[in-house]
Amino acid sequence: MVKLLSPDTPSVTLAATAREPAVTLPAIGQGSWHMGENRAPRRDEVHALQYGLDLGMTLIDTAEMYADGGAEKIVGEALRGRRDEAFVVSKVYPWNAGRQDAVAACERSLKRLGSDYLDLYLLHWPGNVPLEETLKAFEHLQAQGKIRRYGVSNFDIDDMHALHSLPGGNASAVNQVLYHLGSRGIEHSLLPWQRQHVLPTMAYCPLAQGGQELDHPEVRAIADTFGVTPAQVLLAWTIRPAPDGQRDVIAISKAVQPAHVEANAAALALRLDDASLARLDAAFPAPTRKPPLDIV
């Protein structure tokens, strides 16, 4: 059972399903893309995830794609003996999302993770396998207890309409999409639609993959005001509450360096005030027209 470090931790609740009670997750979780690719020592990647878990970032995002399964193995190693402390998200390739193939892909992911269940299984992006087939596979995996929830990733508004028109489509727990201060396209129509349907968003690349947003003078100035780093400003901005005050965005930042892990967990305590949010709005305006969904 995942726990919040404190009752004040910004959190997002995924609704109950027919089989599972609602679950409340810290609004900042951990990514794992590029782990298992030997860019950093394996030991450091495992320790980073464990350290993040210790600091309350209990949601860990991975995918069969990352390092061709290597990232799932790192996650599995990090969770050895403490699987129940984490909320593990993995993703299936679109071409593995058929009725039988998705079951086999999920079983391979579970084996690499050393676990007998996923907390959340996502279709990584829309593909050619009919969505109803993927939903049937997800429902089957759920009935078997191999996944607790399912959802989608990289779905734009039309894809969400298609999903919701199908049986089981509105049981999708999240849509995981690219979202950061420098890429606000989802705010035009996808995010409002998801809010209307009480569908939380998982924001990937919340740190713009270490991009230029971290060096922007306005971001730096706000970071200085709060005595934090630009990365922490980006994370606190990503998970800021919706206009109704509810939180429904979970940021999944990836970090291997211990100082980065610490900073990301500490960003859970940063509350940007209205004046800072207005300055960030001015520096990085929200879109006035619907752009194509941003992806990496």
Is 204 one of the annotated active-site residues of the chain? no
Size of the site for ligand NDP (CB under 6 A): 27
Tokens matching residue 284: 């990085």
Active-site residue, selected from the candidate residues 51, 66, 121, 179: 66
For 203, the 3-state DSSP assignment is: strand
Does residue 4 interact with ligand NDP by CB under 6 A? no
**Site for ligand NDP (CB under 6 A): which residue of 209, 221, 226, 279?**
209
Q: Which long-range contacts (CB under 8 A, 24 or more apart) does 269-276 make?
A: 270/226, 270/228, 270/232, 270/233, 270/235, 270/236, 271/236, 272/222, 272/226, 272/233, 272/236, 272/237, 272/240, 276/222, 276/225, 276/226, 276/233
Contact call for residues 104 and 71 (beta carbons, < 8 A)? no
Query: Rounded to an integer, what distance in angstroms lies between the CA atom of residue 204 and that of residue 215?
Result: 19
β-pair type (23-26, 11-14) = antiparallel
Does residue 190 interact with ligand NDP by CB under 6 A? no
Does residue 38 interact with ligand NDP by CB under 6 A? no
Does residue 186 interact with ligand NDP by CB under 6 A? no
Does residue 252 interact with ligand NDP by CB under 6 A? yes
Q: Which is nearer to ligand NDP, 23 or 270 (CB)?
A: 270
For 118, the 3-state DSSP assignment is: strand
Min. distance of Cβ 143 from ligand NDP in angstroms?
Answer: 25
Does residue 96 interact with ligand NDP by CB under 6 A? no
**Site for ligand NDP (CB under 6 A): which residue of 2, 23, 33, 249?**
33
Does residue 200 interact with ligand NDP by CB under 6 A? no
Binding site for ligand NDP (CB under 6 A): 31-33, 61, 124, 153-154, 176, 204-210, 229, 231, 252-257, 260, 263-264, 296
Catalytic residue ranges? 66
